[in-house]
Amino acid sequence: MEQLIETGKRTIKYLCLVQIFLFTAFAQTTPSPIHCQTSSTPLQVRAEGLTERLGDILLQCSSSNSGTVFNANLTVFLPVNVTNRVDAGNTTHDAVVLVDLGSGPIPTPVAGQISGNNIAFNGISYTVPASGTFSIRISNVRAAMNQLGYTSANPVAVSASLSSTLAIDQAQLIVGYSQPGMRASMGSAQISCYGSPTPDTFDMPSLFAAGTALASTRITEGFASAFEARTTGLDNGTRFLVKYSGFPSTTHLYIPDVVAGSGALQPTSGGDLNLPQMVGQYQPGSGALVLVRVQGADATGAGGFAVSPPQGAGPVTLSSVSEVTLTNGSGYAVYEVAAANPAMQEAVQFPTFILLPRFTPPTVADATVSLAPVSNVTTASTTAPVPRFANVNTISDCTLYGDCPVPLAPKLFLNASPIKMSAVAAGGALTSPAGSFSVHNDGGGTLTWNTSIIYQQGSGWLVFDTPSGTNDATVKVTVDTKSLSAGIYQATVIVNAGTAGSQSVPVTLTVTAPTPPPPPAAPPVSVTQVLSAASLQAAPLVPGSLSTLMGTHFSGKNVAVTFDGVAASLLYASDTQINLQVPASLGAKTTASLVVTVDGVSSTAQTVPLAVAWPAVFPHGVFNQDNSENTAAAAGKVGDILQIFATGIPKVATVSAQIGGRKDLIPVYAGEAPTAPGVQQINVAVPDGVTGPATVVVCATTGGQQYCSPGYTITLR
């Protein structure tokens, strides 16, 4: 049969240089008489950690003003989030400030206020002791170290910058050294078609004796103290999440309930890594590394029941095992450090016993191990477990023991699902997230790969940010729709790695038609002048008479003019001029609100004056008796009937005329001009004694008041 469990391969990324900025803020108006020396106690921190405790920062201060009260606010600013446990107000009592006035450090009641990547301690107030010396210590600040990246195999100094209104001797401090907290390796097992034997009794000695197939997991501290048992302020000790997948449905897995580490009387070992096969023996109280399986933990490694190290007066043999529950061939188990020696870099390994019936088809299963609980909560939280860790690849510890496997040839693995995207045609934008797939070297050596495309519809519309490369990469897939119209387009992306294999990813692109541009905004309608249609001068308008409006953007399919909401009759309309008849229904009103509306766009309403009468004679509006226009070349004579055309005369008015010096001439006709609404016609005889150029004035009397037109020059002979 094929190999059942592949040797685990892990690639560690290490931390970049950490910069932590600590500053104190004070309301200061005068220089402080207090002088402080700063120092720190660096701690080793786990690069995978999301709640790693940083080293203490100490201010040792002296003052010549004993008996005075000093007040301080301290803030620690980090390049990553502060992640101490908080309450609903984002305050914490987990991180503390301690003040030592000479009789030992005393925790202050000041809670830390966390906001993203900083924690503030505001309102520290104490009296300077008689000795004039005291110290301030910031302790137990936790941070999401994994946010800095996981890029260096060597310890990286964690620097801090301290700023204070108290005079300090140095600003730069080292508060920690970051490096991976765990390394691990996985053994492998080959099981023949005859299956793996099942013992009569399920414990480690019986499983070893029966020859049951096994594969071991070895876990090594990245540095001494990386593995720790539960202490005050922690939800649990360091945990390890072991995940199994790909097993046949008939598989049963068993693992030890308690595992003795490298410092125990006899370390637990399956015999397939660097130690011979052994059932673990542990001396209670020795403080050596021991793992206890956690019952009831969830799939992230959180929760479950508390654990404790083996108890008793003498050595304890750790022979018990229990089954790992598998669902569809997958399952998990959680171990927790119940005891560990912080002064020694320790390791631990345990076998996974694999029980399979005879003639099981060949299969490849997998197991992984990671620090736990695994979490994506990278901010201070009220509920997330402390400690917790990012889900990162684990570096192999085989180089520490000289048992690394022979390098493998490169092997292409494509982590991809069918890509479905949508976009707008004719060069429009994506309307869905961009697609992507990951290329991974699942073997050894160097994997060189490139991409090609087979288009089922169209061509040239797929775009890769990384069309070729070596080893691992994530390829972002976008589209260019310049040459595409609406429709559904399909293509197949092929990743070719030569002898390391090739794999493909189907792509479906749904292209929609671009949204038509909005119609251009209608130009604003504006009325600039309201005139008498006869005199073309600004004058009050007379209901029933004619008016001329001057302005802009009067042209349109639907043009309307209203006075107080009453529509006027339009006689002529161009882009800059409208001739209209003022609604007669306005009656005796003295003003009206004028609005011009063109294709739904209205002008700003403006108030225009109204009058009961305001006569004006039209240009070229005087004709002789023979119907010729009265001009210098065609003069009238005494006794002829002149025809005068005017507007602004109401029907009820009494009309009279003046020609030259002769006033109050009674027209032979005064009324509406035939076929010309809003135009009045006045027929009046030229009186005796009037010759040469003369001025004609038309008057209308209504309501006891006379209204006369401007003078109009005529020619008489």
Q: Give residue-wise pLDDT tens across range 215-236.
A: 999 999 999 999 999 999 999 9
> pLDDT, tens digit, for every residue of 235-277?
999 999 999 998 998 999 999 999 999 999 999 999 999 899 9
Say yes or no: do domains 18-179 and 526-609 share a fold: yes
Mean pLDDT (whole number) for 78-98:
94
> pLDDT, tens digit, for every residue of 267-322?
999 999 989 999 999 999 999 999 999 999 999 999 999 999 999 999 999 999 99
Level-2 CATH architecture, domain 412-512: Sandwich (2.60)
So what's the pLDDT on residue 409? 87
Do residues 716 and 636 touch, judged by C-beta distance below 8 A? yes
Bridge partner residues of 46 (DSSP): 179
Q: 144 vs 193, which has greater pLDDT? A: 144
Average pLDDT across the chain, whole number? 90
State how far the Cα of 232 lies from the Cα of 595, in Å rounded to an integer: 81
Does residue 10 carry a pLDDT above 50?
no
Q: In this structure, are strands 347-355 and 316-318 parallel, antiparallel, or unpaired?
A: unpaired
Q: Which fold has domain 616-716?
A: Immunoglobulin-like (2.60.40)
Cβ atoms < 10 Å from Cβ of 158 = 29
Render 669-712 in DSSP notation, one character per residue: EEEEPTT-TT-EEEEEEPPTT--EEEEEEEEEEETTEEEEPPPE
State how far the Cα of 715 lies from the Cα of 717, in Å rounded to an integer: 7
| Structural element, H or E, at residue 666 | none
The domain 526-609 belongs to what CATH superfamily? Immunoglobulins (2.60.40.10)
So what's the pLDDT on residue 23? 36
State how far the Cα of 563 lies from the Cα of 567, in Å rounded to an integer: 7
3-state secondary structure of 138: strand
Do residues 603 and 527 touch, judged by C-beta distance below 8 A? yes
State how far the Cα of 570 lies from the Cα of 549, in Å rounded to an integer: 11
State how far the Cα of 378 lies from the Cα of 389, in Å rounded to an integer: 9
State how far the Cα of 191 lies from the Cα of 65, in Å rounded to an integer: 80
Does residue 7 carry a pLDDT above 70?
no
So what's the pLDDT on residue 12? 27
So what's the pLDDT on residue 15? 30
Q: Is the pTM of this model over 0.75?
A: no
> pLDDT, tens digit, for every residue of 486-515?
999 999 999 999 999 999 999 999 999 999
So what's the pLDDT on residue 713? 94
Mean pLDDT (whole number) for 419-429:
94
What percent of the chain has a predicted confidence (pLDDT) above 70?
A: 93
State how far the Cα of 257 lies from the Cα of 203, in Å rounded to an integer: 10
State how far the Cα of 364 lies from the Cα of 201, in Å rounded to an integer: 27
State how far the Cα of 618 lies from the Cα of 546, in Å rounded to an integer: 11
Domain locations in the chain?
18-179, 182-374, 412-512, 526-609, 616-716
Do residues 75 and 123 touch, judged by C-beta distance below 8 A? no
So what's the pLDDT on residue 28? 36
| Rg over CA atoms, the chain | 49
Give me the phi and psi of 499, to 5 degrees please: -70, -15
State how far the Cα of 143 lies from the Cα of 53, in Å rounded to an integer: 7
CA dihedral 85, 86, 88, 90 (to 10 degrees): -140
Where does the pLDDT of residue 134 fall: very low under 50, low under 70, confident under 90, or very high at 90 and above? very high
Where does the pLDDT of residue 14 fall: very low under 50, low under 70, confident under 90, or very high at 90 and above? very low
> pLDDT, tens digit, for every residue of 164-192?
878 889 888 888 889 999 999 987 655 54
Please count the residues of the chain.
717
Write the DSSP symbol of residue 205: H
So what's the pLDDT on residue 151? 61
Q: Please, is 630 exposed, middle or buried when counting C-beta atoms within 10 Å of its C-beta (0-12, 13-18, 19+)?
A: buried
Q: Please, is 391 exposed, middle or buried when counting C-beta atoms within 10 Å of its C-beta (0-12, 13-18, 19+)?
A: middle
Do residues 613 and 702 touch, judged by C-beta distance below 8 A? yes
So what's the pLDDT on residue 196? 85
Does residue 573 carry a pLDDT above 80?
yes
Do residues 71 and 97 touch, judged by C-beta distance below 8 A? no
State how far the Cα of 369 lies from the Cα of 329, in Å rounded to an integer: 17
3-state secondary structure of 650: coil
Give me the phi and psi of 206, to 5 degrees please: -70, -40
So what's the pLDDT on residue 190? 53
Q: Which fold has domain 18-179?
A: Immunoglobulin-like (2.60.40)
Mean pLDDT (whole number) for 607-621:
96
So what's the pLDDT on residue 594? 97
So what's the pLDDT on residue 362? 65
Mean pLDDT (whole number) for 61-87:
90
So what's the pLDDT on residue 27? 34
> What is the token pair recorded at 411?
């092997």
Cα-Cα-Cα-Cα dihedral sign, residues 598, 600, 603, 609: positive
So what's the pLDDT on residue 219? 97
Give me the phi and psi of 116, to 5 degrees please: 65, -115
> pLDDT, tens digit, for every residue of 648-683?
999 999 999 999 989 999 999 999 999 899 999 999
